[in-house]
Amino acid sequence: MSRPPLHALQGFVAAARSGNLSRAAESLHLTVSALSHQIRGLEERLGQRLFQRNARGVELTDDGRELFDRVASHFDALEQALQPFRTRRDDVLTISLMPSFAASWLVPRLPRFLAAHPQLEINLQSTTALVDFDRERSIDAGLRFGRGQYPGLETMHLLDDWVTPTASPALIERLGMPTLETLDQFPLLGAPGGRWSEWFAQFGGTLPTRFVATFDDSDTLHRAASEGLGVALGRLTLARPLVDAGRLVLPFAQRLKAEFAHYLVYPARSASHAGLHAFRDWLSAEAAVDATAATAAGTKRKARRR
């Protein structure tokens, strides 16, 4: 058997790591069709099926996993060997972040940053997976939601998050404005345990035994509340665009601090990146404005209730 082309093996490794052909093709500057053609050619050459498709993308077969374990480390070694010879561009900044945070918080603010720094090009890679900076060396930094414990990385606290009940104007018009005493009579979104239990324990009222619906991600939860399905215990950072657009209202001044906070993280190799310096300073300023606005809004609601 002749040697398989290196570009096909490179495409295979990229697809295996991302679990998604679109993201892998983008990282290699290929079309999805071209990458799929490479992988099919490699499978035909080896006489083995390397991937199987699932609802989220692609997954390695047993043969694919064995091949990946044999060849991936060699591509990593080549990448590390070539790194010193590559010229880093301080005018290109690649950030990894969760899709929900990108859509709800960063992207609405990003035009202000780009207007202030027109020489910079921003590449956003939206994913729920944590980036491995040692392997994915094209990524300069990440925005993460967690406890701030990221060994081996520079970490900057960006902003805290808070949760509070949110509801659509249509729901409130139909059922009235909820109070701590009547909240349990409203259709609630979520689950009896977790933060709802903390909410009722801290602020009073009765925890209901039945909830209307549960969701496995915050963005869908907020959208469901905005459609009038029920009252959601929403994260303010992600719900803010819907509140500003008038699709959600915040009936209560009380808030619970979220378990996690937002952080900017980056490896030591990015510490001297001029574009990252500018982005970091801008993020810090935007987070400070956001925190001040949130505090002022909470103070106003408390004042109105007196």
- pLDDT category at 145 given cuts 50, 70, 90 is very high
Cβ neighbours around 44 below 10 Å, total: 9
CA distance 276 to 268: 12
Whether 95 and 28 map to the same domain: the answer is: no
Residue 300 lies in a domain: yes
Whether 76 and 101 map to the same domain: the answer is: no
Distances (CA, A) of 248 to 3, 100, 197, 239, 243: 59, 17, 22, 8, 5
Residue 1 lies in a domain: no
Q: At what angle do helices 62-82 and 6-18 cross, to 10 degrees?
A: 110
Range(s) of the domain holding residue 78: 6-85
pLDDT attached to residue 304: 47
Q: Please report the sign of the dihedral spanned by the C-alpha atoms of residue 102, residue 106, residue 112, residue 118.
A: negative
pLDDT attached to residue 88: 61
Whether 172 and 75 map to the same domain: the answer is: no
Whether 80 and 165 map to the same domain: the answer is: no
Total-model pTM: 0.67
Whether 78 and 97 map to the same domain: the answer is: no
Whether 163 and 147 map to the same domain: the answer is: yes
Whether 172 and 28 map to the same domain: the answer is: no
Whether 107 and 71 map to the same domain: the answer is: no
pLDDT attached to residue 4: 66
What letter does residue 130 receive in the DSSP assignment? P
Nearest alpha-carbon partner for 61 in 21, 1, 16: 16
Residue 116 lies in a domain: yes
- pLDDT category at 43 given cuts 50, 70, 90 is very high
CATH number, position 132: 3.40.190.290
Select from 64, 85, 106 the last residue of a domain.
85
Residues 247-271, mean pLDDT to the nearest whole number: 94
Whether 193 and 248 map to the same domain: the answer is: yes
Residue 226 lies in a domain: yes
Q: Please report the sign of the dihedral spanned by the C-alpha atoms of residue 79, residue 81, residue 87, residue 93.
A: positive
Distances (CA, A) of 138 to 10, 25, 242: 15, 14, 33
Query: Could you give the number of structural domains in the chain?
Result: 2
Q: Max alpha carbon distance in the chain (Å)?
A: 82
pLDDT attached to residue 131: 87
* Residue in this structure with the two tokens 């963005």, named with its chain if needed: 219
Whether 12 and 130 map to the same domain: the answer is: no
Examine the pLDDT at 2 and tell me if it is beyond 80.
Answer: no
